[in-house]
Amino acid sequence: MPTPHISAAKGDIAETVLLPGDPYRAKWAAETFLDNPRLINEVRGMLGFTGTYKGNPVTIHGSGMGMPSLSIYANELITEYGAKTLIRIGSCGGMQTAINVRDVIIAMTATTLSTPSRGIMKELNFAPCADYGLLEKAVAAARAKGTPTHVGGIYSSDVFYDERPDLTEQMTRHGIMGVEMEAAELYILAARHGCRALAVLTVSDHLLTGEALPSQDREKSFGDMVEIALEAAF
């Protein structure tokens, strides 16, 4: 059962997988929110843990930064380990004045210039979107927690050091709420394989104001995001 990038044995990975980009955030989330978490992967330093949440099996596994890295892990988790529900939990940059640092964005759609799946789609401008059932439950969980939450479109960039202020201006003008680097490919892979996918994101910095979340405050803000994702999954 092991793949080139995941050493877990058969049965080690749950059907529900949360995907933070940072493997150490996967470790923190598993130790904080799961019962009896155990390490099931550490190939290339990409940590994965499986435990339970309210009695439900859950795996929290790092995806790395960017769509190519996430594509590798999501493909193997789905095709080799039977993952059925994949929820990205991560940070994003805010792109609207009504959105504040520490708020949560639940991504209904994910706009992008390109993804690793572009070669399959060819001339088709496929519109990656979330699973509605997951989205609906995530919104309900966020409201129950009282977490400031926004639902709408995000932008999945394939570069971190972007030098296209004109593109940012147009996305902001068209209501894009935040920018990150993985969700669009996750949504496409889920559609391809008949799985459920969602991205629940914490606004860690803001492209318009320049405000950034201090590192010491991140765990509390990220905790809201993890709990919303876990409640949405079940």
User: Which residues have a catalytic role annotated?
Assistant: 205
Phi and psi torsions of 149, nearest 5°? -135, 145
Q: Is 87 annotated as a binding residue?
A: no
d(CA 73, CA 23): 12
Per-residue b or e along 132-141, where b marks 16 or more CB atoms closer than 10 Å to that residue's CB = eebbebbbeb
Tally of residues, the chain: 234
227 known member of a binding site:
no
Asked if residue 118 belongs to a known ligand binding site, the reply is no
Is 131 known to sit in a ligand binding site?
A: no
- Phi and psi of 77, rounded to 5°? -65, -40
CB 56 within 8 A of CB 231: no
Paired residues of 154 in beta bridges: 110
Among 181, 104, 186, CA closest to 141: 104
Is 219 marked as binding a ligand? no
- 89 annotated ligand binder: yes
* Annotated binding-site residue? 90: yes
**205 is known to lie in a ligand binding site:** yes
> Does residue 91 have a known ligand-binding role?
yes
For residue 125, CA distances in Å to 70, 107, 155, 192 come to 20, 18, 15, 15
> Binding residue per annotation — 182?
yes
Annotated binding residues for a purine D-ribonucleoside, as ranges?
A: 5, 180-182, 204-205
Annotated binding residues, as ranges?
A: 5, 21, 25, 44, 88-91, 180-182, 204-205
Annotated binding residues for phosphate, as ranges?
A: 21, 25, 44, 88-91
